[in-house]
Structure 1
Amino acid sequence: MVLDYAISKEYLSVNPIPNVKIKKKVLTLEQREKKKEKYLERSELKQVIKDMAVIDKSTALLIEFMSLTGLRFGECVAIQSKNIENNVLHINGTWDSVSNSKTTTKNIYSDRKITLPKRCLQIIEEYPLKYPKDKISKDNYIFIYKNNKPYSISIVNSRLKKINSAKNLSTHIFRHTHIALLTELGIPLKSIMERVGHNNPQTTLSIYSHVTEEMSKNIIEKLNEIDLLN
């Protein structure tokens, strides 16, 4: 509108905007590899869970649950029995390690409800059975540690460091892995963002675009294998 006005007043002879082209940013090989480090491939995830089960079965169940839900670590360990109804989980808080208590979620987008797959329900049923009745949390937290409180992120990260992996393992990688898994399943970006509680699409889109790019390459590889002449 401003440029049209400038042309009408003969301040400009033509509108330059239609001729402006924005070059697509080309990632270097190093940048592409860094993107891949943000999440685990399905085969890598299976191996990490398997290796963790040898170190500590409870932690293995915890990281498997995070991979299948996309929850932040604090959200995951703040889950209480009352937050689950049928197969729906209401994420209404996060665990604050400083105050050692459950607090509100990161933002309004983080307060959400998600549907749990069957395996997550199995994990919830299996996890408390590892502890004697007197050790089960009075507040009915699911993922508790020896002190009858939710797991500490430092404990989980220290155990992850014991696993021999090419990726830099931390609790947050499982959240990114969940985004990658949903992308592979063809779930729309908006639905993924709602499930993981993202209001800023930057992180989700970064992983989403990289995975879809890899999927496109796989399509070409499969097409190249088709021989219609023989």
Structure 2
Amino acid sequence: MSKTKNSVIKMYTKKNNEKCYMFKVYCGIDPLTGKEIYTTRRGFKTKREANLALAELKLQISKGEFRKQCVETYADIYKLWVVQYEKTVEESTFVKTYGIFKNHILPALGEYKIEKMNVEVCQRHVDEWADKLKKFRTVKSYASKVVDFAVKRGYITTNPFKLVEMPKKLKKINIGDEEEPENFYTKEQLNEFLNCLEKENNFKAFVLFQLLAYSGMRKGEALALTWRDINFTTNEIRINKAISRGKNNALYVKTTKTGIARTIKMDLKTMAILKKWKKQQREDYLALGFNTSQPKQLVFSNENNEFLQPTKPRKWLQHILTKYNLATITTHGFRHTHCSLLFEAGVGIKEVQDRLGHSDVQTTLNIYAHVTEKAKDEAINKLENFMSL
């Protein structure tokens, strides 16, 4: 005996306060699982439109022509895709991607029927992203991944994003605009910065920026360092991890950006400063009730002897720049500073790439280009001085 269940059409309100109608209908028993099958239809502008769709669907069911569609919208596909995607990337990468979908992609595409999406729809949204987002290509790429997933699962046959024409954002040049300041210090600027910082009553901050400038490591790598990563006998530091922000804004330890560990040689001065900090840390944190002699003790930690918030170094930096009226630089700029000073010291590109842990030599070359521009200025100055003799 066939089982029948009543279907009720209900009104609901979207996030934009638009009133729509929906219904849920019983479709029978799944022969594979023996469980009841239901399908939901929503997005109808009028109750009459919903009634017609319900009647048509019931007719298909009665004739045995209905095949439940597990997913209907882009958002439905996304929910399936994101479960698999999360298993393939670092937690911090997943959090960033989730934000892109939440803020840009799902508000634009979420309610579209997946089988109705075409190149015109995709092109319109790519153009909109290009108008307001600097990294619109990344947004388009992620939006397309979900549709690729739909193709692989057989919900649609082609991905319309593949046919989209990517807008070209021409850089606007205004006469009189000043060039953006370089995000690295010269040797003289670095020495001035460190001298100013050393005057402050914040030895931890001084040690951190000394280390960043003389090692070239990333901030997240420095904040993940433990004392067992530092070999005072060989004057080497092992860089094999970094801290990053994951779900619920929590900090966690992950691999380096490239996933490859590296060991770098350090100068004697920086190693001596680190050794002095290790002794002072032991005294300071013992007063707070912490034993910093443990093998996994962080080199830089907060007052609770836990991960130092990545925003803290930026606050320290801004304080010094403002107080002493120094040239603007970011925390990451000390990595660029180290790279540029290595080039000026005559170190080869391959050696610089290995020391900084760049997976792509082009990244190293981009910084090298800045240094060679400075070298060009020095070359003409030398010529001018020579000719004036």
Structures share fold, TM-score greater than 0.5: yes
Tell me how far 1:114 sits from its aligned partner.
0.9
1:1-230 paired onto structure 2 within 5 Å: 33-34=179-180, 36-53=181-198, 54=200, 56-85=202-231, 86-98=234-246, 99-109=250-260, 111-131=261-281, 132=283, 134=286, 135-137=290-292, 138=294, 139-162=296-319, 163-164=321-322, 165=325, 167-226=327-386
Letter of the structure 2 residue corresponding to residue 147 of structure 1? N
Determine the C-alpha separation between the residues in 2 that align with 1:136 and 1:69. 27
Letter of the structure 2 residue corresponding to residue 199 of structure 1? S
Tell me how far 1:169 sits from its aligned partner.
3.0
What root-mean-square deviation, in Å, do the aligned CA atoms of Structure 1 and Structure 2 show?
Answer: 2.8
Q: Is the 8 A contact 1:127 1:143 kept in 2?
A: no
Letter of the structure 2 residue corresponding to residue 57 of structure 1? F
Q: Is the 8 A contact 2:220 2:244 kept in 1?
A: yes
Tell me how far 1:184 sits from its aligned partner.
0.7
Q: Cα deviation per residue 1:17-62 (whole Å; 9 max; x = unaligned)?
A: xxxxxxxxxx99999943x521112222122223333262210121
Tell me how far 1:189 sits from its aligned partner.
1.4
1 or 2, which has the higher strand percentage?
2
Q: Cα deviation per residue 1:172-193 (whole Å; 9 max; x = unaligned)?
A: 1111111111111111112111
Q: Which segments of 5 or more consecutive residues in structure 1 lack a partner in the other structure?
A: 1-26
- Identity, % of aligned positions: 25
Q: Cα deviation per residue 1:88-138 (whole Å; 9 max; x = unaligned)?
A: 2111111235443432222234x1111111122112101122232624543
Tell me how far 1:202 sits from its aligned partner.
3.6
Aligned length: 201
Q: 1:30 to 1:82 in 2, by over 3 A?
A: farther
Question: Which stretch shifts more, 162-171 or 83-92?
Answer: 162-171
Tell me how far 1:227 sits from its aligned partner.
6.3
Determine the C-alpha separation between the residues in 1 that align with 2:178 and 2:371. 11
Determine the C-alpha separation between the residues in 1 that align with 2:175 and 2:356. 28
Question: Which stretch shifts more, 39-48 or 175-184?
Answer: 39-48
Q: TM-score, normalised by structure 1?
A: 0.75
Tell me how far 1:171 sits from its aligned partner.
1.5
Tell me how far 1:166 sits from its aligned partner.
5.8
Q: Is the 8 A contact 1:67 1:174 kept in 2?
A: yes
Q: Is the 8 A contact 1:180 1:211 kept in 2?
A: yes
Determine the C-alpha separation between the residues in 2 that align with 1:206 and 1:74. 22
Letter of the structure 2 residue corresponding to residue 63 of structure 1? F
Question: Which stretch shifts more, 197-206 or 168-177?
Answer: 197-206
Higher relative contact order (CA 8 A, sep 6+): 1
Q: Which segments of 5 or more consecutive residues in structure 2 lack a partner in the other structure?
A: 1-172
